[in-house]
Amino acid sequence: MVRSAVDWPWSSYRATVGYQQDLNALNRDWVLAAFGERRDAAINGYERFVAEGKNQPSQWAHLKNQVYLGSDQFVDDMQRRIEGADQLSDLRQKLVRVTPLFSVSRPKPQMGLWTSYWVI
C-alpha cells in the first residue's frame, strides 16, 4: 500500500483536502461539512480523521457469517429477515412465459426455440 492517504492516487482524499483539482464526481463541500463550518477548519478536521484511522485493526477481522459487520443482535436481525426469502422452487411459480418480440427470418435448425421469462 502507501504510507499516507495523500499518496494513494485513486482516492478522493487528495481532491478533498486540496492537493489536486476538485473532481467533478466529488461533492467536496458535502464531505467537508461534517468536519467544520469553515473550509480550512474542515480540511484540518478531515485530515485528522483520516490520520486517526491509520494503523487501526482491519474491519474484515470483525466480519460475521462472511457478510456482516455489526453486533450479534444486528446479525441475528438480518438473518431473520432473509430466512423467509423465496426459495428457487417458489420462484418457478412466479415465472411467466413471455412471447419473443422478434422473429428470425431464416431460422437455423440447430438454434432451437428461445423462450424468455419475467419474474413477477
CA geometry: angle 9, 12, 13, nearest 5 deg:
85
What are the tens digits of pLDDT across the range 32-53? 999 999 999 999 999 999 998 8
The DSSP element (H or E) to which 78 belongs, if any, is helix 72-83
Q: How much is the pLDDT for 50?
A: 92
Instruction: Give the span between the Cα atoms of 75 and 81, in whole angstroms.
Output: 10
Q: With 0-12 CB in 10 A as exposed, 13-18 as middle and 19+ as buried, what is 101?
A: exposed
pLDDT tens by residue, 12-27: 999 999 888 867 788 8
Residue 13: Cβ within 10 Å count: 19
d(CA 1, CA 56): 15
Q: What is the pTM of this model?
A: 0.52
